[in-house]
Structure 1
Amino acid sequence: MKLAFSTNAYTNHTLPEAVRRIAGHGYAGVEILGDAPHAYFPEFDADDEAALADALDDTGVAVSNVNANTATGYYDDAPPSSFFEPSVVNPDADLRAWRVDYTKRAVDLADATGAPAVCLASGRPLPGTMPETAYDHLLDSLHDILDYAEPRGVDVGIEFEPELLVESTDEVLTLIDDVGRDGLGVNLDVGHAAVYGEDPRESIEKAAGHITGVHLEDIAGGVRGKHYHLVPGDGDLDFAAVFDALDGVGYDGFVTLELYTYPDRPDEAAERAFEALSRYV
Structure 2
Amino acid sequence: MAKNIKGPAIFLAQFAGDEKPFNSWDAICKWAAGLGYKGVQIPSWDGRLFDIKKAAESKTYCDEIKGIAKKHGVEITELSTHLQGQLVAVHPAYDEAFDNFAPPAVHGKPKERQKWAVDQVMAGAKASRNLGLDAHVTFSGALAWPFLYPWPQRPAGMIDMAFEELAKRWTPILDEYDKHGVDVCYEIHPGEDIFDGATFEMFLAQVNGHQRCCINYDPSHFVLQHLDYLAFIDIYHERIKAFHVKDAELNTDGRQGVYSGFQPWVDRAGRFRSLGDGQVDFGAVFSKLAAYDYDSWAVLEWECCLKDSQQGAAEGAPFIESHIIKVTEKSFDDFTAREVDEKQVRRMLGI
Normalised-by-shorter TM-score class: 0.7 to 0.9
- 1:235 is aligned to 278
- Largest Rg, 1 or 2: 2
Q: Structure 1 stretch 182-191 or stretch 34-43: which is displaced more?
A: 34-43
Residue 2 of structure 1 pairs with residue 6 of structure 2: yes
TM-score normalised by the chain length of structure 2: 0.67
Contact between 2:29 and 2:40, CA under 8 Å: does it hold in 1?
Answer: yes
Alpha-carbon deviation of 1:133?
A: 3.7
Alpha-carbon deviation of 1:103?
A: 0.4
- 1:15 is aligned to 25
- 2:202 is aligned to 174
Residue 61 of structure 1 pairs with residue 79 of structure 2: no
SS in 2 for 1:26: coil
Identity of aligned residues (%): 21
* CA deviation string 1:183-225 (max 9, x = no partner): 2211111111221221211111111110110111110227958
Task: Give the alignment partner of residue 268 of structure 1, picking from 311, 316, 329.
Answer: 311
**Structure-2 separation of matches of 1:227 and 1:79:** 26
**Structure-2 separation of matches of 1:198 and 1:227:** 13
Contact between 2:143 and 2:193, CA under 8 Å: does it hold in 1?
Answer: yes
Residue 209 of structure 1 pairs with residue 214 of structure 2: no
**Structure-2 separation of matches of 1:222 and 1:70:** 29
* CA deviation string 1:34-66 (max 9, x = no partner): 223533646879697565233223124222211
**Paired amino acid for 1:10:** F
Segments of structure 1 that go 5 or more residues without pairing to the other structure are none
**Structure-2 separation of matches of 1:35 and 1:159:** 17
**Structure-1 separation of matches of 2:224 and 2:99:** 21
Contact between 2:275 and 2:312, CA under 8 Å: does it hold in 1?
Answer: no
Alpha-carbon deviation of 1:8?
A: 0.9
SS in 1 for 2:247: coil
Contact between 1:219 and 1:230, CA under 8 Å: does it hold in 2?
Answer: yes
Residue 99 to residue 2, structure 1, CA distance change in 2 (3 Å):
same
TM-score normalised by the chain length of structure 1: 0.82
- 1:219 is aligned to 248
- 2:121 is aligned to 103
Task: Give the alignment partner of residue 123 of structure 1, picking from 119, 122, 141.
Answer: 141
Segments of structure 2 that go 5 or more residues without pairing to the other structure are 88-94, 104-108, 148-157, 253-257, 259-267, 325-351
**Structure-1 separation of matches of 2:293 and 2:187:** 20
Residue 164 of structure 1 pairs with residue 192 of structure 2: yes
**Structure-2 separation of matches of 1:83 and 1:198:** 31
Residue 249 of structure 1 pairs with residue 311 of structure 2: no
**Structure-2 separation of matches of 1:33 and 1:121:** 12
**Paired amino acid for 1:140:** K
Q: CA RMSD in A?
A: 3.4
